[in-house]
Chain A
Amino acid sequence: QVQLQESGPGLVKPSETLSLTCIVSGGSISGYYWTWIRQPPGKGLEWIAYTKKTANTDYNPSLKSRVTISLDTSKNQVSLSLTSVTAADTAVYYCARGHYDFNLWGQGTLVTVSS
């Protein structure tokens, strides 16, 4: 079955760029929308962005100026870049399939922003 596995740096310094990868196994990423969602420790869920291909991409306005989502079909992975991070960006970041409801989720990766 299709599985999602996020990976990231774990710790990022303030003002730096956070880069995350979601490797999709058991199926192709082509033809599907892919989404990033985050959850600060002890808090709720926040949708970040989704994409299917460049022409089918949407961002949360609250993060749009700092976020880029992309697909690499050759590696079957989804990536997220978040620039100028602050402590408020500390969260578990989830990769999920879909752009309406999200029917498949990865286990998430914790990113802490701290000097």
Chain B
Amino acid sequence: EIVLTQSPGTLSLSPGERATLSCRASQSVSSNYLAWYQQKPGQAPRPLIYGASNRATGIPDRFSGSGSGTDFTLTISRLEPEDFAVYYCQQYSSSPRTFGQGTKVEIK
């Protein structure tokens, strides 16, 4: 099983700042089969990124994904008020599908 470790656990930033979230895998994620989701309280996760760097439909271009192998990054270039939420990475390189434990982006 591929274990995904996200860091930091919490990121305290102000609107307009840049957010950099990390997702590290316990073994290589082949073909960059890694996705990112955003979740707000009481809501289902919202797909953001698939294939490590491809934005899902309707996702603004301030969200970008990068990385390969075991190290992946989600970057939010300029935080908007609606971006404060919890973010999860997920690998689909192997079974079982696994998620990271999440990074909470909170308002400083």
B interface with A by C-beta (< 8 Å): 1, 33, 35, 37, 43-47, 50-51, 56-57, 88, 90, 92, 95-102
CA distance A45 to B38 in the complex (A): 12
CA distance A77 to B37 in the complex (A): 24
Any B CB within 8 A of the CB of A47: yes
Stretch at the interface among A7-15, A16-24, A80-88, A96-104: A96-104
User: CB within 8 A of B99: which of A45, A106, A107?
Assistant: A45
A interface with B by C-beta (< 8 Å): 35, 44-47, 50, 58, 60-62, 94, 99-108
Closest to A4 in B: B44
Give min CB distance, B46 to chain A, whole Å: 8
CA distance A99 to B90 in the complex (A): 12
Classify the secondary structure of A's interface with B: loop
CA distance A106 to B43 in the complex (A): 9
Classify the secondary structure of B's interface with A: loop
Q: Are B44 and A107 in contact (CB under 8 A)?
A: yes
Q: A107: which B residues are within 8 A, CB to CB?
A: 43-44
Q: Are A101 and B90 in contact (CB under 8 A)?
A: yes
Q: Are B99 and A100 in contact (CB under 8 A)?
A: no
Q: Which of A58, A62, A105 has the most CB of B within 10 A?
A: A105
CA distance A108 to B97 in the complex (A): 19
Check A101/B102 contact, CB under 8 A, given A94-B44, A107-B44: no
Q: Can you pick out 24 interface pairs between chain A and chain B where the beta carbons lie within 8 Å of each other?
A: A44-B88, A44-B101, A44-B102, A45-B37, A45-B45, A45-B88, A45-B90, A47-B98, A47-B99, A50-B97, A60-B96, A60-B97, A99-B97, A100-B33, A100-B35, A100-B50, A101-B35, A102-B35, A102-B37, A102-B47, A102-B90, A105-B44, A105-B47, A108-B44
CA distance A50 to B96 in the complex (A): 10
